[in-house]
Amino acid sequence: MPEEHTFAWGTNRRFNDYSTYIRNKFGGRVQKISVNVGFSCPNRDGTKGTGGCIYCDNSTFTPSYCNAADSIAVQLQKGREFFSHKYPDMRYIAYFQSYTNTYAPVKTLEPLYRDAVGNGIAGLIIGTRPDCINGELLNMLARINQIVPVAVELGIESTADRTLELINRHHTWQDTVAAAQLCADHGIETGGHLILGLPGETEADFLEHARRVSALPIKTLKLHQLQIIESTPLAEIWRQNPDFVSLFSLDEYLKTVVRFLEHLSPDIVVERFVSVSPADKLIAPRWNRMKNFEVVALIDKELERQSTWQGRLHN
């Protein structure tokens, strides 16, 4: 294929990349500022289960400026100060990231979201679980969506119910299907999050994930490799039984991502390929101390080496 070929998403890059998409959507540079309002999850507080997902330590992806003890206004201001040295003209999106950010009554949630909107943000992204979405919530988000763009990010993690049960997720694939459709019905842009390498899953499962996710009415997708983090249930299980999971080498992960992309709809924007955890908490795999942009560059090269692209095998 010619190097300057333009793909379905309008660029010559071999996957539908988020940076181009978000820059076009907002007409310039934007940066997410994480917000923590101290919510929990239904698989932590006993509503559906306890202990949370077996791999989860929320502190591994919570920025230093993000403190639930601070008001939303203070967190947003600290976030602006954290990023302001990069681009003085940067615009910001409030990202309700930690735990399940729709896990409260609408009368509790709406003032929090509107507080963020009132602090001069350009958009709002809300991370949550598929089983914590309902019509009343989305009616409220649709009202805010008339003020600033709103997106919901669903923690899908896997499309296999056996895996969701094994990792203590306490929701089903059908919950994801229903939540994504409900968001679409209310005009709310939706993203998803998948983990590759969960216990018991094989390449056949990864490709099935790609096919199933492609059928959802979602716009964006985050991928990352399974990580074993200190002080999580998975770390204890792994120490007792290392065969419980098959961790990717870097080369294996790159090739898996390429095969996944080949089966993924070209309409889905890929926001992220890896997650990078703090070195003092990460047990394995150690290669993922590489920065995200370094891994993305390797994926670009692998796509080019194989002369393939996102959606090439999508049907």
Which tens digits make up the pLDDT trace of 204-235? 999 999 999 999 999 999 999 999 999 999 99
d(CA 257, CA 299): 8
Confidence grade of residue 309 (pLDDT, cut at 50, 70, 90): very high
Residue 57 has pLDDT above 90, yes or no: no
The whole-number pLDDT of residue 288 equals: 65
Q: What's the pTM?
A: 0.94
Least confident of 15-24, 25-34, 52-61, 254-263: 52-61
Residue 292 has pLDDT above 90, yes or no: no
d(CA 284, CA 235): 9
Q: What's the pLDDT tens digit per position in 268-280?
A: 999 999 988 888 8
Is the distance from CB of 101 to CB of 42 less than 8 angstroms? no
Q: What's the pLDDT tens digit per position in 109-131?
A: 999 999 999 999 999 999 999 99
Residue 41 has pLDDT above 90, yes or no: yes
The whole-number pLDDT of residue 2 equals: 43
The whole-number pLDDT of residue 5 equals: 82
For the chain, domain boundaries: 18-305
Is the distance from CB of 126 to CB of 96 less than 8 angstroms? yes
Secondary structure (3-state) at 216:
coil
Fold of 18-305: TIM Barrel (3.20.20)
**Residues 6 or more apart whose Cβ sits within 8 Å of residue 99:** 39, 40, 41, 44, 58
**Across residues 164-193, what is the average pLDDT?**
98
Confidence grade of residue 3 (pLDDT, cut at 50, 70, 90): low
Confidence grade of residue 68 (pLDDT, cut at 50, 70, 90): confident
- Name the token pair of 289: 């101390």
